[in-house]
Structure 1
C-alpha cells in the first residue's frame, strides 16, 4: 500500500525482510531505530524504504533486543500518558482518583457515570467527592483465572463500593507500626501496611478481575487510612483522607484539587521500572499484595519515585528565590543530576508536570514556596538544562501545602498502586510466566 510516495508494509512483511522476530521489530521501534504508523484498522505499518535501508546497514547490535509486552492499559504520547485511550491530563481535570482507578482496572465507561466523578473540579474546586461505601464480595459470581469466582455484589454500582473508611481494615496495620522509629519514611510505612493488610485478607489469592479490583479498593483505602493521622479528614475521598495523613493544616479546595490531579497523573505510566517488576511478580501468580510490595520496593529508587523526595530536598534548600542560582550551581559543579528535571520518555517536557504546576499556581499564586520553585525553574532554563517533570511539580505542591517530608513518595505510591494492579490483571489473564533472557558476557564456558 502507498501514500505520498511512501510504500507501507505490514509488520509481518517487515520482520521477514529483516530476518527478525516481530518482538525484535517492535523493540527497534521503541529504541527509535524504526518508525511506524497505524492503518485505519490499527495495524502497524512500516516504511519499506526504511526497512531496506536497515537491511543494507545491518541489524543494530549495540544493545540486545528489548522486552516488548503487549498491554491495553497505558500508551505514552509525546508529552503525556493516555489511560485506555483517554488523555490523562483531561482526566486529571475532570475525574477523581477513584474513578480513574476503576477505569484502569475495568475499562468500563460506566465508571465515569458514577456519583464520585468530580465534574469540572478544577474550575469548580468546591465540589468534593461524594465518597463511596462498602467492600462487598459475592461468592456466587462466575469464575475467573483463579477459579472460585468472587466479585463485588450489585455490579451496576460497583464503582461506588469499597472506598469508604473502614476501621477494621486498617486497625492491625496501625498497630503494627507502633514499634517503628518515629522518623521512618512514609514509603517504608506503606510497605509494612501492605504486608499486614495482605496477611489479614482471606481473599488475597482470588485472582479474577472483580476480586482483584475489590482488593485494590481495600488496599488503597488501607494504605491511606493506616498512615499516622495529622488531622481529621474533611471528607471520605482518597484525596481528602490522604491529605489528613500528609498535612496538619486543612486543605483549601484548590490545593485539594491539585492533590487529586497528582493522584490521577501518577496512577500509571506504562512499563516504568516498578510496573515491570510488578508485572513479573504477577506473571508468577503472586497475589495482589505481593505485587504491590514488589512495586513499592522498586519505587523508592532515586531514578524512579525516589526522585520526588530529592526534588523536595532541592526546593527546601532554596529558602528564598535569590538562593536558587547557588543551589543549582553547586549541584552542577558536583556533576549531580538536578532532581525534578529531565525525563527518559518526554524529551521536550512532561505535560503532567506543567498541569500540576499550573494547578498549584492557581491555588496559591503568591506563596513563598512557589516563588522559590519559579526561581529554580528559571535558573535551570537559563542553563539550558532539561525541562521540569512531574517530580518537580509534586515537590512544589508539597512545599506550598506544607506537607511532611517524603509526602511525594507517599502520593506516588498510593497513586501507582492502581496502575500496578491493572497490569497485574493483564498478567493473571495471560497465565504465562514473564521470563527475560540475559545476554551473557562473562568468561568463556569451558
Structure 2
C-alpha cells in the first residue's frame, strides 16, 4: 500500500487541505499518522475518489480556512501545539493569549510569572502548589491572571451581579452566563473596538467578568481564572490536585475547531457582531444536548448511580429506551478522546479513594463490557464535578468559560477577513412556479 501526504492528496483531488480533512471527519477518507504525526492517505483511495468526484448524497460542505486549531487522531492542536501538553504545563490564561495572538512569547511570560509566584525554590518542574494557612490552595501553576491583566473588576462585576437578583433560584449556570454576558456588554463602552489588541483586552475583561459575577460559594483562593471559578462552583476549598484538574479542563476545552457553537460564533463575527454578541451566540448553541450540554447529562447519569453495583441497571435502562449514553462516543475521535482520558486520569490521581471514582470505574466497565463507544471529555468533566462536589451544571459552566477563549479567537479571524459568511441551502421544496 502506498501512502501519500496531505498536500499531495489535496492536489490530486483538486481541493484545499481543509476540505481533505473534512472528508476524513465525514468518513469519506481514512488516514493514518506517521511517526512525526503527519497525516498520510492511501494513494489508491485518493485516486478512486478523484475519479468518482464529490461523494454522492453529500451536500457541498462549508470549509473555512483557519490557523487556530487542527484536529488530530485523538486530540486538538492549538496553533500547532498539543492541547494535552498545554493542559499539563500552561495556565488557561496563557493558552487563551496563545489562541488570540499566536505569539510564542506568551509562554516565556507564563514561566516568568509562575517563577515570581513560586520563588526560586519552587520554579523547577514537578513543584507542587502550596496551601495557605487556612487550607486553601494558592494555585502557583496558574497564578498568571494578574500578570496578564486578568484582574478582577469589582465595579463591573457588581453590575452583572445586581442584574441576577431577580432570577429564580436554581437557574442553570449556563443561563446565568448568558445574562452576565449581556450586562457586561451593555456596560462596556469599548465593545465595538474590533482591532486585535482591543478584542484581546475585551476577552480578558469578559472571561474575568463571567467568572466573578457568578454567585460565590466561598471566598476565592487566588487570582487565577481556575481559582476564581472554583469558588463559584464548589462550596469546599480546592485541593492542589483537583484545582490542577480544573485548570487542565479549561485548557482542553478552550477550542475545538469548527464545533457547532464556534461555527455560529464565526458567522456572527463575520457580520461584524461585537465580541459580547459573538459569545452570546456561542452560549446559545453550547447548551444543546449534543454539544456542551452533554456534560450535564453525564452528571445526571453519575448522580443516579449512588454505588458501583447500580451501574449496569443505569446503562441498561438507557439502552432499552434507545438513548445515547451521555459522555461516550465522539463524532471526530472514533477511537477515543484523549482529552477525556487525560482529565479522567488527573481526577483519579487527585482522589483515588473517593467513592465517586469507584462509581465512575463501574460505569466505564459496564460500557466497555457492552462494547459501546469510549468515554469522551464530557464524561471526564462530569467526573471532575462529582468528585469535587461541585453544584449541578458546573460542567457546562466550565465548558462555556473555557470555550469563550476559542470563540473570540475565531471571531478575530473573521474580523480580519472582513467578509460575510454566507451559507447556501440545497432547495428541496415544491417546484418554483
TM-score, length-scaled by structure 1 = 0.86
Alignment partner for residue 124 of structure 1, among 128, 135, 141? 128
Structure 2 residue aligned with 1:377: 364
- The number of aligned residues is 413
Structure 1 residue aligned with 2:427: 440
The aligned runs of 1:70-89 (5 Å cut-off) are 70-89=65-84
Q: Note the C-alpha offset of 1:59.
A: 3.5
Alignment partner for residue 66 of structure 1, among 54, 61, 67? 61
* CA deviation profile, 1:337-375 (whole Å, cap 9, x unmatched): 000100001111111111111111111000001111111
* CA deviation profile, 1:16-56 (whole Å, cap 9, x unmatched): 5xxx78876664454343467999xxx99977654542354
Q: Note the C-alpha offset of 1:108.
A: 0.7
* CA deviation profile, 1:258-314 (whole Å, cap 9, x unmatched): 000000000000000000000000000100000000000000000000000000000
Is 1:265 matched up with 2:252? yes
Structure 2 residue aligned with 1:349: 336
Structure 1 residue aligned with 2:193: 206
Check conservation: 1:116, 1:131, Cα contact below 8 A: yes
Q: More displaced, 314-323 or 46-55?
A: 46-55
Alignment partner for residue 95 of structure 2, among 87, 94, 100? 100
Alignment partner for residue 278 of structure 1, among 245, 265, 269? 265
Check conservation: 2:160, 2:183, Cα contact below 8 A: yes
Cα–Cα, structure 1 residues 93 and 281, in superposed 2: closer, same or farther, change >3 Å?
A: same
Check conservation: 2:265, 2:411, Cα contact below 8 A: yes
Unaligned 5+ runs, structure 1? 134-159
Check conservation: 2:241, 2:350, Cα contact below 8 A: yes
* CA deviation profile, 1:209-240 (whole Å, cap 9, x unmatched): 11000000000000000000000001010000
Cα–Cα, structure 1 residues 66 and 248, in superposed 2: closer, same or farther, change >3 Å?
A: same
Alignment partner of 1:211: what SS? Answer: helix
Alignment partner of 2:408: what SS? Answer: helix
Structure 2 residue aligned with 1:421: 408
The aligned runs of 1:359-398 (5 Å cut-off) are 359-398=346-385
Q: Note the C-alpha offset of 1:132.
A: 3.5
Distance 1:357 1:98 in 2: 22
Cα–Cα, structure 1 residues 329 and 120, in superposed 2: closer, same or farther, change >3 Å?
A: farther
User: Alignment RMSD, CA only?
Assistant: 2.7
Distance 2:156 2:5 in 1: 59
Check conservation: 1:96, 1:116, Cα contact below 8 A: no
Check conservation: 2:344, 2:383, Cα contact below 8 A: yes
Check conservation: 1:10, 1:45, Cα contact below 8 A: no
Q: Note the C-alpha offset of 1:12.
A: 7.4
Check conservation: 1:224, 1:242, Cα contact below 8 A: yes
Alignment partner for residue 164 of structure 1, among 151, 156, 167? 151
Alignment partner of 2:57: what SS? Answer: coil
Is 1:301 matched up with 2:288? yes
Alignment partner of 2:266: what SS? Answer: helix
Distance 1:67 1:283 in 2: 14
Cα–Cα, structure 1 residues 4 and 176, in superposed 2: closer, same or farther, change >3 Å?
A: closer
Structure 1 residue aligned with 2:304: 317
Check conservation: 2:242, 2:347, Cα contact below 8 A: yes
Unaligned 5+ runs, structure 2? 116-122, 131-138
Is 1:181 matched up with 2:168? yes
Is 1:14 matched up with 2:1? no
Structure 1 residue aligned with 2:119: none
Check conservation: 2:75, 2:339, Cα contact below 8 A: yes
Alignment partner of 2:70: what SS? Answer: strand
Structure 1 residue aligned with 2:85: 90
Distance 2:261 2:356 in 1: 30
Distance 1:6 1:409 in 2: 40
Check conservation: 2:156, 2:209, Cα contact below 8 A: yes
